[in-house]
């Protein structure tokens, strides 16, 4: 009975998405400003080499843009409802003929188990569940399909630097963030009608620990326990034509995380 109900709800959800797509996906004003919305349905949520959901993930987004400025929200919600929940806000600006983008992203991970901070309106650095990241990316050109991303967490629930202080009642006291960083190089090309992107992601920061002779210990970093490659793989994408006027973008990725010694194969489609 539960399985039949699950299938029915899935079918109703997909039909609803088709209706939303057919009614309006993007509205543009006379001034050039636009509002776009969409949804990705992924077999699981894997981000920068780390798996956030063990089951299918629904990932909606809404974005307002004008000129090079974009303000939007993006989310991820696991089909089984137990993991992979995320609700983000971001602001970005693209410039120099669309070659460069600077962005600030507010990541938030809702948690109903009570194991982490779940108050969306809590912004105290030691208590908040938000992670704030600044990033700069090179988006490549038609003649140089090479992309590069540099991102760094600068506030919030990043991995903590902890002072080992036996004189303190708590013994271990958080004294700052690890300022976890991520760098990614990508190369795009096309084989027949399939767009391919080969990528390699690296974290250049080693979490501070007592082994550094600094007097500090620390949590595992945001991306891993050491500096190194955490996200290497390839993504292929293409449009599947349904009718003369409607097609569905689909994608598949093969992702490895050498540091965690893990591998993922992910499939998804967009509306």
- What is the per-residue pLDDT for 3? 41
The pLDDT-based confidence of 231 (bands split at 50, 70, 90) is: very high
Q: What pLDDT, on the 0 to 100 scale, is given for residue 237? A: 97
Cα separation, 108 vs 110, in Å, equals 6
Superfamily holding 33-270: monomeric porin ompg (2.40.160.40)
pLDDT at 167 over 70: no
Residue 213: the pLDDT is: 57
User: How confident is the model over 53-68, as a mean pLDDT?
Assistant: 95
Element at 17 (helix H, strand E): helix 2-23
Confidence of residue 4 (pLDDT cuts 50, 70, 90): very low
pLDDT at 101: 98
To the nearest 10°, report the CA torsion of 116, 114, 76, 7. 150
Domain regions of the chain by residue span: 33-270
Residue 257 has pLDDT above 70, yes or no: yes
Read off the tokens for 36: 């776009």
What is this structure's pTM? 0.83
Question: Which range is least confidently modeled, 98-112, 168-182, 203-217?
Answer: 203-217
Mapped onto helix, strand or coil, the DSSP state of residue 34 is: strand
């Amino acid at each position: 009975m539960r399985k039949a109900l699950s299938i029915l709800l899935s079918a109703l959800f997909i039909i609803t998405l088709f209706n939303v797509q057919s009614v309006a996906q993007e509205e543009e004003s006379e001034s050039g400003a636009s509002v776009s919305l969409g949804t990705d349905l992924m077999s699981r949520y894997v981000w920068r080499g780390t798996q956030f959901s063990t089951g299918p993930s629904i990932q909606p987004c809404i974005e307002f843009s004008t000129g090079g400025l974009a303000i939007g929200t993006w989310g991820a919600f696991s089909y089984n409802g137990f993991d992979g929940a995320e609700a983000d806000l971001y602001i970005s600006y693209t410039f120099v003929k669309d070659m460069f983008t600077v962005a600030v992203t507010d990541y938030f991970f809702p948690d109903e188990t009570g194991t982490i901070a779940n108050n969306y309106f809590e912004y105290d650095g030691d208590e908040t569940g938000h992670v704030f990241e600044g990033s700069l990316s090179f988006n490549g050109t038609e003649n140089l399909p090479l992309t590069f991303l540099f991102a760094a967490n600068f506030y919030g629930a990043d991995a903590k630097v902890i002072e080992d202080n036996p004189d303190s009642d708590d013994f271990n006291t958080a004294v700052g963030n690890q300022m976890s960083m991520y760098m990614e190089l990508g190369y795009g090309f096309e084989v027949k009608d399939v767009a391919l992107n080969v990528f390699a992601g690296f974290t250049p920061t080693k979490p501070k620990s007592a082994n550094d002779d600094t007097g500090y210990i620390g949590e595992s970093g945001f991306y891993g326990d050491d500096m190194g490659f955490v996200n290497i793989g390839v993504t292929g994408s293409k449009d599947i034509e349904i009718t003369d006027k409607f097609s569905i973008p689909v994608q598949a990725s093969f992702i490895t995380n050498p540091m965690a010694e893990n591998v993922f194969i992910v499939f998804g489609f967009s509306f």
